[in-house]
Amino acid sequence: MRLRSPREAQDLGITFVHQELALAPQLSAAENIFLGRHPAAGGWVRWREIHDRRASLLAGLGHAIDARRLVADLSLAERQLVESPRAAFRAR
């Protein structure tokens, strides 16, 4: 397959997880998953939707992380697991 641009790859659902983690440690795992793409309505972030959707993203990938925990409190392995659903969400 020949892709003409990174956007075309993203439109096809192709994404990657950077080896160097790019998480905001002061935010929760859920907030990091949706960072920059928070569902919102009328200028307000829909937090309930974020927490409902992060649960299905994490469960769908087989992760048992409490996504309400701050990234700063997660182990390195758990932080790496947060990157997977983050990449999956961006690919949608």
Please write the tens of the pLDDT for every residue from 49-67: 877 777 676 666 666 778 7
Token pair belonging to 26:
């002061």
Is residue 73 predicted with pLDDT exceeding 60?
Answer: yes
Q: The domain containing residue 78 runs over which residues?
A: 30-90
Is residue 92 predicted with pLDDT exceeding 60?
Answer: no
- Indicate the number of domains in the chain: 1
Task: Over range 19-32, report the average pLDDT.
Answer: 83
In the 8-state DSSP scheme, what is residue 89?
H
Assess if residue 25 is contained within a domain: no
pTM over 0.85: no
Assess if residue 2 is contained within a domain: no
Q: Provide the residue type at 65 as one letter.
A: I
How many residues in total does the chain contain? Answer: 92
Assess if residue 18 is contained within a domain: no
